[in-house]
Structure formats: structure tokens, C-alpha cells
Structure 1
Amino acid sequence: MDAILVIRLGALGDFVQSFGPFAAIRAHHPGARIVLLTTPPFADLARRSPWFDEVWAEGRPAWHDLRAVLALRRRLRAARFGRVYDLQTSGRSSRYRWLVGLQAEWSGVASGASHRHDNPDRDALHTVERQREQLEAAGITHFPTPAMGWLDADLSAFALPPDFALLVPGASPQRPGKRWPAVRFAEFARTCPVPCVVLGGPAEVEMAEGIARVAPGSLSLAGRTGFAEIAALARRARFALGNDTGPTHLIAAAGCPTLALFGGDSDPALCAPRGPAVAVLRHVPLAALGPETVQAALAGVVPADLTPG
């Protein structure tokens, strides 16, 4: 089994929760050539990691683009993969079994798979437990803690305060119920004993800068950080407070004490961030969550003298 294919297309939070399975697959196949099939947003992140020999970024061609689909099929078949670990386990990724070729052993949910994860309750499991059970069905029994030291960056250009907390006030714009209001984050930043560094994507710059303005010494880095910078900041921060969004998952995985806020749009029993020190606070609707409740929940992951008051 010289060539192994791993399929993980996205999104960021799901990709981060596959770090453990990635590490387990590499440990189980130490001498194999392991290829990850993913999408462009995660290709560089995967190439930095110690788990893959190659990363292919063309993992989500449009089905109507027959040229792209056939090109992917040719590349997959030419690689002669002996086994495929489909960690996406979607309808799309299951159909890739036909692109790879039916001779390959297949771990996933595709019909006819040699190592099919056929637990009827799989969708009720947290992503981490579901993937672990899937890999156990394929014969993997050793699950090392994924090392994260490979994901780091030079932060000298950011003029960071010597001591700080991270705030992640954004989330998917299509799911506003996943956001604790920006005014609440601003109130938190204003009363926090350490300056806050506010993270976000390019579309969240105005919101992040507004939060930072109300808190002396705080700083917005929205639109200025990639995955490596986020992980590096997480290692240096006292703690993080964020919505259920990809960067919060990455921060938690990097080891930062993290409180993740959930509303009714996602279920922490299925997708809560995992890491050495993570707490989850769910309130429906999230917009009605009071700052006092957040402060009390933070006490479970950070020292009392570092919570706002």
C-alpha cells in the first residue's frame, strides 16, 4: 500500500478537527506516500504540516466542468492509490470512489466501501469521535496528539502588547445567529484586564477596529493574519474568546485557553472546538447572552484575575 489518498475539502473548523486523523493516518502508514486532496484555501496550511507528501488543491471541481472532472479522474487513477481515507464523507467525496477506481480500499461512507463506517448514529457524534470511529473501522488504533509546532509565524510587525487576549467576533455572514453582538465584544474588551487583539477576515475590519477603539491598548489585526499568524498569536495569548468559527477552532487547537460561544445555528455536541483548555458556552439566541455569564464561563479556563470585572 505505497500510495494513500486522504480527502478533506473544508471548511476551516472541520479541517482543523481533522488534524488528529491526519496524524493518526501518518503514524499508521509511516513509509507510504500520502496525498491530501483538498481545496485552495487549505492547500498551503496542509503543505506546512508534517502529515502529507503531496497536497492537491483541485478537490472540488464543478460537476458541469467535465474537463476539470476528467482531469481529476486521470490524476487520481494515475496515482494508483491503494487506500483512500475519505474524511469529508459527503455525497461529493463518496462519488470520488468512481474517480479513484473501485480497486482501492476505501474508508468512508461510500456504497461498496471496503472499510465502510456504517454506524447509523454517526451523524449524532462529534466530528472528532466520528472520524476516530471511522478510522478504527479501517484498522487504525493509535491516535497520537497532533503536534502543532510546525504552524508558527514572525509576529514582530504587529507591535503586540506584551500581554494580551484574543477576540474572534466574526462568523459566517450567512449565519448571523452564530455571532455574539460586536457591542458585547467591545464591552468585554473595555473591561478586560489585559489588552485585546481582535481577529477577523477582510470583511470584518470595520467591526474589529470598532471593538479595539473602545479599549485602550487593544489592537485590530483583522484582514492581516493568515493561519500561521493566528496559531502563533494563540500560543502567546493569555486566552481567547470567540464565536463558533474556523479561527476559534484553530486557536483552541494551538493550545490557547479558549471560550467558544454558540447560539442556535450550530450544536457544540457535534462540532465544539477541541484543544488542551476549551470551554463552551451556548445560549439561544446568542444575541441575548449577557457579559456576566461570559465572564463566569471564562473562569473555567483562565485565572480569575484575568477575567473582566
Structure 2
Amino acid sequence: MPTTHSMPVRRSRTSPVAAKRILVYVQNKPFLGALLVKVPFLVELAGANPGARIELLSPVPDAALLKSLGLVHACTSFGNNHLRTLAHALAHFKRYDLAICMRPASQITTLYAHLSGKRTMGFLVPGGLPFRDTVAYDKSVYIAISYLKLLFRRESDDALRARVVPAFSRVFGDTASPDAGTNAVCLFPGAGQPFKRWPAPGFAGLVAGLGPAYRYHVIVGPDERSLAETIRENASVPCELHVGEDLRRIFALARAARLCIGNDCGPGHIGLMAGVPNLKLFPPGQDPAQWFFPRAGNMLIEGGRGGIGSIPVDRVLSAARAMLEGR
């Protein structure tokens, strides 16, 4: 079973004096996974600046999820309307103690940050204005760790990696679901794009191969019920379906699991940060270094030229058995 984590509050090494009002500019990616990888950064940002009012400004309204999770006090979205964003920056000229730019490739957003904040922080953007605290964006590491480097530039990747699971536990709860059953295995067969989905027959064959010794939870988004039902109908072993579950419920199920198996998808990111072993399936050429959490006990299988569907069931089954048996 997963262990219980405490969440120490540590000040940022780049922020010796806590800010009272902070504005964070975030990316224009609406995907659930792209929002969830910001959770550890926002948890640590709040811990480094006790009592601060933290506000988000995002091109996508989906970023409001981070407010609903209690991570920020306000979230504003102007879409990709740069005139409105510029007007906001001018109207709030130097009103924020700290303006942070989490966008690693937007020159115009570096300007907004400089207009908004007395102090600035962000990634090095070619052609953009440099920040007071500037960090090089590293595409070779898990993206949640890249974000944490904005706050903890002197810490090693291993030290930053150790912050991720406790941060998620603080937001989503640290209790494993008591009704998940013993020997629980969570499956995440969905994805926002078809080329990221390992075929449903693969998951069905995996469940059939592992057999009835485990209790299977098939976790998908609200529009993926038919996918989950296809797996259940063809698995020849009972499966429990979870369609469009609350994120905290998904985290509790994953915390109770002996193994999480799935694609690069939003719910799968919750499983990836639950502190249990994960087996992730990726299509080729999709930056697994940025989107796979290389924590001890996790494993990645990447598809070949034939795409994610080229990953054979036997290979996934063999890896899953080894992970479940602790080999």
C-alpha cells in the first residue's frame, strides 16, 4: 500500500522575501494533463509565499480547473486576444510583487510579465525580455520538474522529483480508496487524441492475460464510456468502469493500486503522480522525456514506426507481471 507523505513548507531559494500578490502566466494548452503537471509548482509557490494572493492568467478557460482545486485565488482568460491581455497588464502595471511566466516560448508574454510585476521570474525565451530570475527550459526532464526549477534552481532533479508526489497528495488527498479492493490494478486506456491510444483489444488482452487474481478499475473521461465498455466486454475477466470520475476519486483509486497502466492522458497523469508503480504506453516521437514521470518503480514502453498500436500485448503483459511481482 502507498505510504503517507507529509508536505513541508519550504521557501523558494529564489524568493527570500515572500511576495503578497503574485500573477502567473500559464500556457495555451487546454489538456487536463498539461494543467495537472502545474500542480506541484503551484503548491510549492504557495508554500514559499505564505498568505500570498496568487492569480492565473491563461489563454484557455480550462485553466480554471486550478482555481477549483484551491491552488489559486483567481483565474482570468482572454483567449488569444493579445490586446486584452496587454490592457490587463497595463491596468495592473507593477501591481504584483511577482509576475511569473510559465510559457517557455512566448516572447510577448515576457513583456506582459515585465509590465505586471515588480519582480519577474520565468524561462529563458529566445528573443524575449530576460527575467530577474531566469531559468533555462530543459526539454529532457519531466515537465513538472522543469516548472519546479523556477523556484528551486539549485536543487537536483532527484530532489525536485521527491516533491511531486507529496504535492499531489496535499491537493488530492493522501488516503487510498478503501473500496478499490486488494490487488487493485488501474487502467487508463483513454487519450485526447486517437494516435495516443493503445488499442482497446490490447487492454482487454492484458486483463485476460493477468487473470482474475487482480481487481481491475478502467478509468476514462466522460466521453470515453464506449471505450471502457469495449474493454470490459472483451476481457473475459470482471472489470469495474469509472467514467468521468472526480479527480480526487481517481487519485484515491490510484493510491490503492498495486499498478497503474495506461496511455499519456489526463487521468493517467493522476495515476502517474499517485506514488505507486506505473507502466506508461507512448506513441513514438511524443516527447516522453517531458511527459513521463521517471520515478523509481515506473516504466515506459514506446511504440515503433507503426505507432502505439505496434506495441505487442505480450510485451506489456510481461512488463506488468514483472512489476506486480516485484521483479
Smaller-chain TM-score bracket: 0.7 to 0.9
Q: Aligned with 1:114: secondary structure? A: coil
CA contact (8 A) 2:23 2:56 kept: yes
* 1:279 and 2:279 aligned: no
Q: Which residue of the partner structure matches residue 177 of structure 1?
A: 195
Identity %: 23
Residue by residue over 1:60-116, the C-alpha shift from the partner in whole angstroms, topping out at 9 and shown as x without a partner, is 52327x5x54774477x1781111222233428x52643772553221245223335
CA distance in 2, matches of 1:132, 1:151: 19
Q: What's the counterpart of residue 2 of structure 1?
A: 20
Residues 149, 186 of structure 1: alpha-carbon distance in 2 compared, 3 angstrom cutoff: same
**Counterpart residue number, 2:172:** 151
State the partner residue of 1:112: 129
Q: Which residue of 1 aligns with 2:49?
A: 29
Q: How many angstroms apart in 1 are the aligned matches of 2:317 and 2:55?
A: 44
Q: Distance in 1 between matches of 2:197 and 2:86?
A: 40
1:302 positional shift: 2.6
* 2:64 aligned partner: 43
Q: Which string of whole-angstrom CA distances, capped at 9 and with x for unpartnered residues, describes residues 259-296 of structure 1?
A: 11112141212221355642111121321111221123
Q: State the number of aligned residues.
A: 292
Structural mapping, 1:220-239, within 5 Å = 220-222=241-243, 224-239=244-259
Q: 1:258 to 1:118 in 2, by over 3 A?
A: closer
Distance between the aligned counterparts of 1:269 and 1:293, measured in 2? 21
Conserved? CA contact 1:28–1:140, under 8 Å: no
> Quick one: structure 1 residues 181 and 84, their matched pair in 2 at CA, closer, same or farther if it must change by over 3 Å?
same
Residue 86 (structure 1) aligned to one of 101, 104, 125: 101
Amino acid aligned to 1:269: A
So what's the TM-score if we normalise by structure 1?
Answer: 0.78
SS in 2 for 1:146: helix
Contact conserved, 1:200 with 1:221, CA < 8 A, in 2?
Answer: yes
Where does residue 200 of structure 1 map in the other structure?
A: 220
The one-letter code of the counterpart of 1:270 is Q
Query: 4+ runs of 1 displaced by more than 6 Å?
Result: 139-142, 153-156
Aligned to 1:134: 150
**Deviation string, structure 1 residues 218-239 (Cα, Å, up to 9, x no partner):** 12222x3132221121112221
Residues 142, 293 of structure 2: 8 Å contact kept: no
Of 181-190 and 229-238, more deviation after overlay is shown by 229-238
Moved more, 31-40 or 261-270: 31-40
The aligned counterpart of 2:4 is: none
With normalisation by structure 2, the TM-score equals 0.74
Letter in 2 for 1:298: A
Structure 1 portions without partners, runs of 5+: none
The answer to whether the Cα contact below 8 Å between 2:94 and 2:116 also exists between their aligned partners in 1 is no
Name the CA shift for 1:195/1:140 in 2 (closer, same or farther; >3 Å): closer
**Do 2:185 and 2:217's aligned partners in 1 also have CA atoms closer than 8 Å?**
yes
1:217 corresponds to: 238
Q: Is the 8 A contact 1:178 1:286 kept in 2?
A: yes
Aligned-CA RMSD value: 3.5
Asked if 1:186 is matched to 2:204, the reply is yes
